[in-house]
Structure 1
Amino acid sequence: MLRYPDFLIVGAMKAGTTTLHADLGLHPSVYTSDLKELAFFSSEACLESGNQRLYKRHFEKAASDQICGEASTQYTKIPQFTGSAERAASIVGPDLKIIYAVREPLDRIVSHYVHEFSRGATDLSIDDAVRSDKRYIAFSSYYQQIKPWVGAFGRGNVAIVVFEEYMRNRGRGLRQLCDFLGIDSSVLENRGAEELKSHLNHGSAQYRVEGAFAKLITTRSYRAVRRYVPENIRKRVQRAVGRRRIPSDVNLSLATRSLVTQEILADQYSFIDLLGIDSDGLWEQWRGGGAIDSGVKSISPVLTARPTH
């Protein structure tokens, strides 16, 4: 049966979307697309009926009693890609569930840079890259990125996953996601920690891709084809052609950290207000430079709309 998805994992880039995609796929009532990063709604090509049929085929193996979903970080990459939320609402309808994963903003930027460096997309230092490419800061501006999705589907249909908290209590976070999606969470109680651990995305490759292959993977043709190549195969090829080991201690300078903090300060407070939580419960660790403060109270891994009375 050809159908549209029931939920989307829309980002953020380098904030655990691969892990969420895999974890939800463990549930017998959930079918997640074999391929990640379909990015269907990120361009107006999704409005064409032929492309819509091709997109639906990613879910045709789902059973009639399963819900379907996919994960694409392009959906929260404003200003590089705009209009995704509006197109999804127009095509799928207002009941689509949205999952948005976030992580400490500066950590996300570092991981983003390592990703770009590993595929040969930049030769700049991390400080120079962040100062010259506004996408690093934009993709960590979580309120700006999720606002269109809340506007299109309502806060009640949007779940925010705080990835650090999710990984501290992964079973609880997964059960909360099940509740959000309206499926039975009790069937996951027998899933052990080792099985969940096996689905963890361990991040960017340790080796930088160089030479002709580095040029190839930055082309539009490669980006069009890569979504049909399983991630484990892509990583195997990258390890085979990688030539230079990526330093393990990549980090932002204090000056650049200060710049980023000032750039996203207003956005982060708007995001905290959207979440409806005490700011000291989440971003105190961010104000302190990214180190987790054991004195900060723990919050829920998954944050949904506050009930109205």
Structure 2
Amino acid sequence: MKGDTPARKRPTRADVAKLAGVSVATVSFALNHDPRISPPTTQRVVEAASQLGYRPNTLAKSLQSGITHTLGLVMPDISNPYFGALAEQLEQVAIERGCTLLVNLSHGDPGLERTRIDELLNRQVDAIFISSAQSDSELEKLSRTGHHIVLLDRCQPVGGLRSVSSDLHQAAYDATMHLFEHGRRTIALLAGSDNPADMRTVGWRDACRNAGVPAGPLVSSGFTAQDGYLSTLNMLDETQNHIDAIFASSDLVCVGALRAVRERGLRVPDDIAMISLDGTFITEYTDPPMTVIRQDTAAIAHHAVAAALDADAPLTQIIDTTLILRRSCGCPNL
């Protein structure tokens, strides 16, 4: 159309070579910092590329090498402080390893999770981290595809997939035993999962058994604050408040449970002591401040990226947790 401005032609390596006075091959070597190219020549090529606004075609390069330097992440909910902290740490470590992280949400839906995985595979990512809502049998099918998959928050390997997780069994065991040390005897578990083999549930049961005390109520609460709130209200009504401690499977669940306890006219820790698993920043600002088992998201991210990129990484990495004492469990003067 008359008066239209023609589209600006994208600069090529040949354009850079012409401006810098070198060959096209020298441009490629210089932009990849090949030591065979002298520093003055490299500088001249870099300046010419900058002047022209030239950017290498990373897609073409990736197709040639089979490496895209991108990693995918599929997790249930970025608004959960634990997942937000973990995503941030994964991105930081990925950047340090020269990679870009693509974040996708499954909202805890196994079908949507599979869709997100397929989308990332179509993007030719080098590896995918998954905090999975799928069953072990479904994940075993995924392991047979030959793609680089790293499972997060899975203490046991599934098929040939690598996994990185906090020691969830020990975390639950330590939290429960600490509550027993405070003289509590009916310790409820707000378990996000309804899987009896979940390591948080197993650790809680093992602590009860070793203490010689019957396990308290087990509630499959989900992982949101609203889940924790509603589940705790129902539990308190059904047990007629005959519990004296709660171990919550996540910080958000614990925040919801704390509100429910107060609405029933009960005091923390006087009537009901509480400990949460995750140890995110929100537990520092509850009233009272929450005793937590803190997951080391920095260490999880470091080992997860290593599992994705390093051929010699172990099949399973279990990361230690830390008990952080505050007032909600009944510890004095904290």
Do these two structures clear the TM 0.5 threshold for a shared fold by scoring above it? no
- The TM-score with structure 1 as length reference comes to 0.29
- Larger radius of gyration, structure 1 or 2? 2
Using CA pairs below 8 Å that are at least 6 residues apart, which structure has the higher relative contact order?
Answer: 1
Higher helix share: 1
